[in-house]
Structure 1
Amino acid sequence: MDARKAVVVEDDRDVGDAISRLLEQAGFDVVVAHTGAEAMAMVAEVEPDLVTLDLTLPDIDGVEVCRRIRMVSDCYVIVVSGRTAEVDRLVGLEVGADDYLSKPFSMRELQARVAALFRRPRSSDVLAPEPGGSERPPDVPTPEPTSQLGCSDLTLDRGAREVLVSGAEVDLTRTEFDLLAHLVSNAGVVVAREELMRAVWDSEFVPDSTHVVDVHLANLRRKLRRAASSNEWIRTIRGVGFRFDPCCP
């Protein structure tokens, strides 16, 4: 099987080289970009599985780069940035990053976060090897079939990782899909933010704050509203969490 591919976007060449070496040791084929323009060109050419993205770049702001990446790729994106304010973390996640790592950070922490992301299930990885590892065994469970949700016009296919509203596909990030899938599997039941974090993020490494759940769910709701403005499937239960109601008017 082909090795997984990564694009390291970093204007500090020493940091970029260190991240590149770490990912190569984990089994990735790595290319390094030092500007936003280079990053977009490499993402289009390489079609990576992973991008590590510095927000402070000499030409294009990293937030804009992340937004543009999300328009053309569903790869994992980890922001690595010296911007430590909560607003920067939330903005990074809001535009589609899967994780946010503040500088300075240890290479072991980055390694743990990358491993945690790739342990999250996705259909394209069913028969793919782990980074640096061997091919997965052939007895991987068959992906779940398409599920029609109650009386609503929303279909979620866990096997294809696809969501349809009125027959039209809704473009979700991996995190948004995983959040929706977990809420759907507990339809009618209030799910706490902490439970969503444990279910969607790796149990060995979860984000520092439940705010990330709210940010990703806000993005998810906005996309579902655009597809069907008359429906509000995800309800906020103040002080507790969220509930998926398949028959919401």
Structure 2
Amino acid sequence: MTEDATKTAVIIEDDPDVRSLLDEVFRAAGFRTVLAGTGLEGVAAVAEHSPVITTLDINLPGIDGFEAARRIRLLSTTFIIMLSALGEESDVVLGLTSGADEYLVKPFRPRELRARIEALLRRPRSPESVQPDGEAAPVPSEAVRAPQIAAAESAAPARNPSVTAAVPLPGAAGRWHAHRDIRLDLDTHTVLVAQQEVELTPTEFDLLATLLESKRRVRSKSDLALVLRGEAFGSASYVGEPDKRAIEAHMANLRRKIGDSTADPRYIETVRGVGYRLTAHAEA
């Protein structure tokens, strides 16, 4: 019987008490859980079970959580929630640079973890995933993908109504956004820079999609944090400094991957004290 990957979570944690707590939280949320006590066991579990969400401790026997995250990113698009007692800014940045989508500092409240899980589930995943043998899974037919895409769109974060909807590029199927030589397809989670495909984490993809949709409208760090939570712009939800620092780290990773520079930005510019927006479209 084929596993329902959308309801599977891999928990990589060497502390039995914390592992038990995480198991309870995920089971209460309706997940099937797979438990691992070391980094290597966790990477193998992700490869075998293709979970939608993986939690990852940093201080693990054998390879640490940072290395485990890097290895997981080579074979899976699973959302990674990194959990650690290390709360320094440098630790958060390193965790996100390694491929994590969320970073929670221990001790954490189960309610906070549950909220992060629900926010991640509201974000659509790419229909093309990596199989345990490293080969890309075949993309479902349009007949199969259509209801999946419709469901993902209905569950996706609310977008600002003033932005322009994505339109197909000439000769290309899908819902594409474009800026200079960047092309992004919402349907397949494909990103092209100068016609070369760039691999982004789900979080980096969502940030880039939001900026492309917003065009020259400035998006604050709080706006972008709300998008990642699955909430609409202007929500009254509290966004703390750790969330804003996480956005900075994700933006640094995104810029590095698309070949952008903060000193001489080609794609994304920082509006100091406000947030981020696309650069002017016209070349000098």
Superposition TM-score tier, normalisation by shorter sequence:
0.7 to 0.9
Does 2:177 correspond to 1:153?
Answer: no
Are residues 185 and 49 of structure 1, via their aligned partners in 2, closer, same or farther at CA, if it must alter by over 3 Å?
same
Does 2:57 correspond to 1:76?
Answer: no
Instruction: Render the CA deviation track for 1:170-191: whole Å, top value 9, x for unaligned.
Output: 1001111111111111112322
Are residues 138 and 73 of structure 1, via their aligned partners in 2, closer, same or farther at CA, if it must alter by over 3 Å?
closer
How many angstroms apart in 1 are the aligned matches of 2:62 and 2:22?
Answer: 21
Instruction: Render the CA deviation track for 1:182-226: whole Å, top value 9, x for unaligned.
Output: 111111232222222222333357563411111111111111118
Shift of 1:61: 1.3
How many angstroms apart in 1 are the aligned matches of 2:276 and 2:243?
Answer: 16
Alignment of 1:46-65 (within 5 A): 46-65=49-68
Alignment of 1:97-246 (within 5 A): 97-124=100-127, 140=151, 145-147=174-176, 149-150=178-179, 152-203=180-231, 206=239, 208-225=242-259, 232-245=266-279, 246=281
Partner amino acid, structure 1, of 2:275: G
Does 2:125 correspond to 1:91?
Answer: no
Check whether the contact 1:9–1:35 (CA below 8 A) recurs between aligned residues: yes
**RMSD (Å) for aligned C-alpha atoms:** 2.7
The TM-score, its normalising length taken from structure 1, stands at 0.84
Instruction: Render the CA deviation track for 1:61-113: whole Å, top value 9, x for unaligned.
Output: 11111111112111011111111222212211121111111111222221121
How many angstroms apart in 2 are the aligned matches of 1:154 and 1:216?
Answer: 18
Secondary structure, in 3 states, of the residue corresponding to 1:72? Answer: coil
Check whether the contact 2:206–2:228 (CA below 8 A) recurs between aligned residues: yes
Partner amino acid, structure 1, of 2:215: A
What is the aligned-residue identity percentage? 41
The match for 1:17 among 12, 15, 20 is: 20
Secondary structure, in 3 states, of the residue corresponding to 1:122? Answer: coil
Shift of 1:45: 1.1
- Identify the range of structure 1 (141-150 vs 38-47) with the bigger mean alpha-carbon deviation: 141-150
The TM-score, its normalising length taken from structure 2, stands at 0.74
- Identify the range of structure 1 (44-53 vs 192-201) with the bigger mean alpha-carbon deviation: 192-201
Consecutive unaligned residues of structure 2, counting only runs of 5 or more, are 129-146, 157-165, 167-173, 232-236
Partner amino acid, structure 1, of 2:276: F
- Identify the range of structure 1 (137-146 vs 49-58) with the bigger mean alpha-carbon deviation: 137-146
Check whether the contact 2:149–2:187 (CA below 8 A) recurs between aligned residues: no
How many angstroms apart in 1 are the aligned matches of 2:239 and 2:123?
Answer: 12
How many angstroms apart in 2 are the aligned matches of 1:19 and 1:94?
Answer: 24
Check whether the contact 2:80–2:100 (CA below 8 A) recurs between aligned residues: yes
Partner amino acid, structure 1, of 2:178: L
Are residues 138 and 157 of structure 1, via their aligned partners in 2, closer, same or farther at CA, if it must alter by over 3 Å?
closer
Count the aligned residue pairs: 235
How many angstroms apart in 1 are the aligned matches of 2:89 and 2:81?
Answer: 16
Shift of 1:138: 9.8
Secondary structure, in 3 states, of the residue corresponding to 1:210? Answer: helix
Secondary structure, in 3 states, of the residue corresponding to 1:149? Answer: strand
Check whether the contact 1:112–1:205 (CA below 8 A) recurs between aligned residues: no
